[in-house]
Amino acid sequence: MVLVVSGLLALAEPRFLNASNLVSVGTGMIYDLPVAAGMTLVLALGGIDLSVGAIIGLTSVVTAMYLRSGGSVVLAVPIALAAAGGAGALNGLLVARFRVAPFLVTLGTMSIARGTATVLTSGYYLSGLPPAYIEIGRGQLLGVPYPVFVVLGVVVVFDVLLRRWKPLHDAYYAGTNPPAALLSGIDVGRLVFAGYVASALAAGLSAVFMTSRLAMGYARFGELAELRAIAAAVLGGASFSGGTGSILGAALGVLLLAVISNGFVLLKLSVYWQGVVSGLILVVAIAVDASRRRRNESR
């Protein structure tokens, strides 16, 4: 599907294949890729995480505030990840320990995280970050920004671990049938907790790059990121009933969304159509998923 869309786009607008355009498509994806990967794990576990977009905003604000108060650049990244991970731990605790519906838990933490970020900044941008921090996101190696390497590394490692590493691979089983997984000795609660922490950490990573590349902290960073991540994960084979999905698939989902929005820019279509088309893509993805499942059932 990605190839088909890319092919059509290349035919319609030759500039699509320009090296600079391809690089810009690639760098545009660095924020969505980690979030979609984390979302895939959470969906595989039978959950959902609506709070990732808000966690990006909160992490961005916390990082910027720390840096502006004279904090060290070296510590800024661990602090950002700790803030994000803390929010994820709250999600994980409420879902795994108190067994509250993940939709409601993450809806609640979404409001809390976005609200806290807004309260901390009164809605203003926090600019004036040290150049050394900005270098994290804007610095380049062989003409490619650092974050691209980091994100690709994270995605590949995450993908391999979820496929091959038994403790993580168990997530599929735990998502399909929690009681059975529990009986066969899998610590489902711990796995679910880890899933939400991982998802939040991924959002934190995205926030680090966003804050650095855009050189400011802003409470509204990451708005709707959760919806894009869910759409990408579902396009990549994840299902709401848990037990399926792959990081590689989600990455292709992100790529598809990125190529399509790039197409809108290149073909100079009104951005107004973008919403219609992304909604329709989701419908197509659902239909593909439905027919795939039906085929499996009839077999």
Partner 1 sequence: MTSAHTGRVADIARHRLTPAARYTLGLAGAVVGLLAIMAALYPQFADSANVEVLAMNFILEAFMALGMTAVIVSGGIDLSVSAVLPFAAIVTGLLLRAGAPVPIAIGIALLASAGIGALNATMRQVLRVHPFIVTLATMLSLKGVNLVITGGAPVAGFPESFAFLGRGRLLGLPFALVLFAALAVAIGWLLAHHRYGQQVYLIGGNVRAARLSGVNVERVLVLVYVLCSSLAGLAGVVAASQYVSASTGFGQNSELRVITAVAIGGASLNGGTGSVGGSVLGVLFLAIVYNAFGMSGVSTYWQDVVSGVMVLGAVLLAQAAAREGRTRRAVGPGERPAAAQVR
Residues that bind partner 1 (CB under 8 A): 48, 94, 98-101, 103-105, 107-116, 118-119, 122-123, 227, 230-231, 234, 239-241, 270-280, 282-283, 286-287, 289-290, 293-294
- Choose between 76 and 230: whose C-beta lies nearer to partner 1: 230
Structural tokens at position 241? 């009933």
Residues 19, 23, 28, CA angle at the centre, nearest 5°?
Answer: 150
Structural tokens at position 14? 């030759």
CB of 277 to partner 1, least distance (A): 7
Q: In terms of Cα–Cα distance, which of 225, 219, 236, 241 is closest to 297?
A: 241
- Choose between 100 and 150: whose C-beta lies nearer to partner 1: 100
- Choose between 170 and 226: whose C-beta lies nearer to partner 1: 226
* Helix (H) / strand (E) containing 140: strand 140-141
Residue 256: CB partners within 8 Å, gap ≥ 6?
1, 2, 5, 232, 235, 281
Query: Dihedrals φ, ψ of 220, to 5°?
Result: -95, 5
- Choose between 27 and 59: whose C-beta lies nearer to partner 1: 59
CB of 112 to partner 1, least distance (A): 4
- Choose between 110 and 155: whose C-beta lies nearer to partner 1: 110
Inter-residue contact 44 to 238 (CB < 8 Å): yes
- Choose between 83 and 151: whose C-beta lies nearer to partner 1: 83
Q: In terms of Cα–Cα distance, which of 230, 90, 244, 242 is closest to 162?
A: 244
CB of 187 to partner 1, least distance (A): 22
CA distance 52 to 110: 7
CB of 135 to partner 1, least distance (A): 32
